[in-house]
Chains A and B, each alone.
Chain A
Amino acid sequence: MGTIAHNSLNAKLVLLGDMGAGKSSLVLRFVKGQFLEFQESTIGAAFFSQTVAVKDATVKFEIWDTAGQERYHSLAPMYYRGAAAAIIVFDITSTDSFARAKKWVQELQKQGNPNMVMALAGNKSDLEDRRKVTAEEGRIYAEENGLFFMETSAKAAINVNDIFYEIARRLPRAQPAQNPAGMILVDRPVKGSLTASCCS
């Protein structure tokens, strides 16, 4: 959950999606500006942080990058619990990965933080000749489900920073004018979630 102090914000963000969709590559591009053609698979989960500045505020993303294989699905709630934002990633060259992304969206809608800012990323947009999922399909699905959609390419550095910035802009924040002492004024409700734990 994001916490607000002055005009800086910490926001937990989780990446979910099919294996090989490019979750780790998106993070690596965003955090380190790097791209590895053969990014190794993620075992368990990995954690990164990166700060961005939007308007008058800074947002420090605490990013959880998860393992994609279905068999590790049961570990995911540990990572998305308490997240303020999620990027659900699919590979535009794989309809299976798009179907999997939809399942993640449903799960988050059911079990995640109801105020979570969700983005749908159609990754590998550089592989136009192998495209299986049109941009239109992604956009319509996102619209219908209250997400915002971007096609990204971690390899070509297209829309990667943009998707994180867009999330940062959409995160709820305090009004600085009413917050002279830097106290937390906006306390977003945690409906339906369990009692606080160290993982949130």
Chain B
Amino acid sequence: MQETDLLDLSDEADYAASQQHGSTSMMRSDSDSGKRSSSSETDPAEVLFAKDNVAIHPTQFASERISGRLKLIKQGCSLFLTWIPYKGQSSNGRISEKDMSLYTIRAEPLVDVRSIRRHTPALGWQYIIIVLSSGLAHPPLYFYNGGVREFLATIKQHIFLVRSAEDANVFLVNDLQNPLQRTLSSLELPRVSLASGPSTSISAGESPLNDDQERADGSIHDANSSISQYSGRHRQKNHDPARDLSIHVLEKFSLVTKFARETTSQLFRENSNGFGALDRKSYNLSADEYSPKAANNAEKVSNAHPVASDPMEFDKLSLVWGKPRQPPLGHEAWATFLDSEGRIVDSKDFKKRIFYGGVEHKLRTKVWPFLLGYYAYDSTYAERAYLRSTKKSEYETIKFQWQSITPEQAKRFTKFRERKGLIEKDVVRTDRSLSFYDGDDNPNVNLLRDILLTYSFYNFDLGYCQGMSDLLSPILFIMEEESESFWCFVALMERLGPNFNRDQNGMHSQLFALSKLVELLDSPLHNYFKQNECLNYFFCFRWVLIQFKREFEYDKTMRLWEVFWTHYLSEHLHLYVCVAILKRYRNKIMGEQMDFDTLLKFINELSGHIELDSILRDAEALCICAGENGAASIPPGTPPSLPIDNGLLYPQQDEVL
């Protein structure tokens, strides 16, 4: 097939260059390693395509972008995609080796790719999003020097790539109309992984890359092989299938990050007690599905396979160690946290106290500005009073920017009219059943409108998006004062703003992390979602977007939020709450064979029926249980994490424009 059928390449100068590069960089794979199968070790790895300055943007900050080299590598009949960040980017201290390693794409077999979406904005860089068969996606890869076309053209030369009928910018990989045919075809393709035992992609990752000079971190390879050797030794010593299984699952999981790999090997050494043992226990339910022989193709072929073999066993784990919830923090206890000038001396202890009990309602107006990050914990009464007054005049200044728009000006200012219209439509239907917001001409509804409109000028790039009024409502309800509410909302949006990004990046990264956590903490449920093509976790969209605001009564939501805002065990406790709820209903979900539609309906209808305190205890237990593996499942920069640097010191630059 000619690549010009779909893609006109004649005007792309760098295409020729990349072709040249491809033809001259034949690479031999390392043939010393005895671990690989005979079929793969004799095949040379051939670089078909290489592109420099392909970057990911983990956060909105230019200083945190990670550049690297994208390659397509052919080995035998298999095509792999790699993206290796350049060395030395961590020297500026903002990107850690861990971050770089987390995002590295070591060797993604193209058979595991469902589609590639191309974005070619009129202004700014082209980027692609690679969506895997599992429904997960890699972060967008930005081509600073162009080259998306020849990247796709190169793929097209080697595998079946068709443009989606639904969207001209989506290219489907291996898309044959008949799903059975598709399954068979993916099985026919000889995969390096088939021959190399349970640690599928690790070996796939080793072979094409052994000679890779751009490798970000030389220790990665060593880490891989030490795990393989270690697990090999264990298997010889002890044929406990559960152990094999946990090794397999953890190895599989450890593909996510080098960091996870390190902690995995820790776990192997320590798994005779502690939560290593728990991990093993929780994984052994799916032993049948995961015996090494079956691991590669069983999932694809036997969709009819029932899910968990013994859900009851799983429930025995039922997370009894979340500490009992405490009564909320009251005035007397609050006073003990303050020194004579009003500083919170031990902020860690303070946050811990709120994590386990929340705050009494009347005290919230004092405590929330700290939790949200509007007040510094070590600020004094005087400093806060000063902050309030300067921030009040700053607020008035921003507010005046839209207040001063005359009707004549507004006629010629579509964006403003639209934005105001969106906000006005939403504030009148936000929590109107509460007495605080009910009735005609309620001044608090007008305050909601004014604050949201002012915010949309303060953060003009983000603007207004549905869901924001839900996030503001409890803050205004607690803070009451307009400027204070605004700045508390600003502080919250520093963390949750990415939930509302146009490209849905913030939501995708959280749902991705959620899928990784479920995989770690409930692999049968994960497999169920996988078999039913529910791995996109869109049924949890509302939970994540507005932090369970619609799932609990108003006062419960406030309790939950203040617990989240402590970031005591994790900044991402909300994801563990998602896992806790899903685990609670896992037997129902799997037992009733819910598909995506039914699942979304079920999840939406859970609203008002979730018992907050016990879910919080479960989430706490899950978070502790997941430990560093859990933390490593969540890519850095995933909301609600703050960007590594203070946004005021490194202002949001350019982005695409």
Contacts and interface: CB of A to CB of B under 8 A. Distances in A.
A121 interface: no
Nearest to A197: B533
Contacts of A196: 179
Nearest to A44: B541
Chain A interface main SS type: loop
B534 A44 contact: no
Contacts of A33: none
Given A43-B545, A43-B546, A62-B597, A195 B177 contact: yes
Interface in A61-111: 62, 64, 67-69, 71-72, 74-75, 77-78, 96, 111
Contact of A44 (B172, B533, B542): B542
Contacts of B596: 198-199
A39 interface: yes
A38 B429 contact: yes
Contacts of B534: 198
Interface in B460-500: 465-467, 469-470, 500
A163 interface: no
Contact of A72 (B425, B466, B533, B601): B466
A84 B465 CA distance: 30
Given A39-B429, A78-B538, A71 B502 contact: yes
A195 to B, nearest CB: 5
Interface string B575-596: 0000000000000000000011
B465 A199 contact: no
A47 B467 contact: no
Contacts of B426: 19-20, 41
B542 A19 contact: no
A187 interface: no
Contact of B541 (A41, A43, A192, A195): A43
Nearest to B503: A74
Nearest to A42: B466
A46 interface: yes
Contacts of B432: 37-38
B31 interface: no
B357 to A, nearest CB: 29
Contact of A47 (B541, B546, B597): B597
A123 to B, nearest CB: 14
Interface in A17-55: 19-20, 37-41, 43-48
Contacts of A12: 597
Main secondary structure of the interface of B (DSSP, over half): loop
B428 interface: yes
A181 interface: no
Contacts of A46: 604
A66 to B, nearest CB: 11
B466 A45 contact: no
A43 B551 CA distance: 12
Nearest to B501: A71
Contact of A195 (B182, B431, B469): B182
B182 A69 contact: no
Nearest to B600: A47
A177 interface: no
B351 to A, nearest CB: 29
Interface string A174-200: 000000000000000000111111110
B504 interface: yes
A189 B464 CA distance: 41
A41 B165 contact: no
Interface string B245-276: 00000000000000000000000000000000
Given A20-B425, A77-B166, A194-B166, A44 B538 contact: yes
A81 to B, nearest CB: 9
Given A38-B429, A38-B432, A44-B545, A195 B179 contact: yes
Given A40-B431, A41-B426, A198-B532, 19 more contacts: A39-B429, A40-B429, A40-B430, A41-B469, A43-B541, A43-B546, A44-B545, A45-B600, A46-B604, A47-B597, A68-B466, A74-B504, A75-B541, A77-B166, A111-B166, A194-B166, A194-B175, A198-B534, A199-B597
26 contacts: A20-B425, A20-B426, A39-B429, A41-B469, A43-B546, A43-B550, A44-B538, A44-B545, A45-B600, A46-B604, A47-B601, A47-B604, A67-B466, A68-B466, A69-B422, A69-B465, A71-B500, A75-B504, A75-B538, A77-B166, A111-B165, A194-B165, A195-B182, A196-B179, A198-B532, A198-B597
List the 7 shortest-distance A-B pairs measured between CB atoms, nearest first: A47-B601, A44-B541, A20-B425, A38-B429, A38-B432, A43-B542, A198-B533
